[in-house]
């Protein structure tokens, strides 16, 4: 099933990016462009991400640093 009609991104692709470490709609957008045009799919992406575990969320739960694992471009956006 398509999540993002603008760029033809499927639910399976979003789940794969999430398995690879994308934990936010912004990270999914960086990996696939989903959510960067009309934005109508962002809530759907959020719901997909909310179902699974996120390695970075697990780090937070353990009290470990999270931002040190992000690529430098993500660090600049977080600042």
Structural domains of the chain sorted by starting position, each given as residue range(s) with its CATH number in brackets: 2-78 (1.10.10.1100)
Between the CA of residue 28 and those of 16, 44, 61, what are the distances in Å? 10, 12, 22
User: Are 48 and 14 spatial neighbours (Cβ–Cβ below 8 Å)?
Assistant: yes
Residue 79 has pLDDT above 50, yes or no: no
DSSP alpha helices (H): ranges in the chain? Answer: 11-19, 25-32, 42-51, 55-61, 72-78
For the whole model, what pTM was predicted?
A: 0.65
Residue 73 banded pLDDT, cuts 50, 70, 90: very low
Question: Could you report the per-residue pLDDT of 8-61, keeping only the tens digit for each?
Answer: 999 999 999 988 888 889 999 999 999 999 999 999 999 998 865 565 655 555
Q: Which residue has the tokens 């399976």?
A: 12
- Where is pLDDT greater, at 76 or 53? 53
Residue 77 banded pLDDT, cuts 50, 70, 90: very low
- Residue 36 exposed, middle or buried by CB count within 10 Å (0-12, 13-18, 19+): middle
């Amino acid at each position: 099933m398509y999540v993002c009609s603008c760029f033809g991104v499927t639910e399976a692709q979003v789940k794969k990016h999430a398995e690879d470490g994308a934990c936010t709609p912004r990270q999914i957008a960086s990996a696939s462009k989903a959510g960067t045009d009309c934005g109508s799919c962002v809530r759907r992406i959020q719901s997909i991400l909310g179902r699974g575990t996120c390695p970075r969320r697990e780090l937070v739960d353990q009290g470990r640093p999270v931002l040190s694992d992000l690529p430098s471009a993500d660090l600049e956006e977080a600042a």
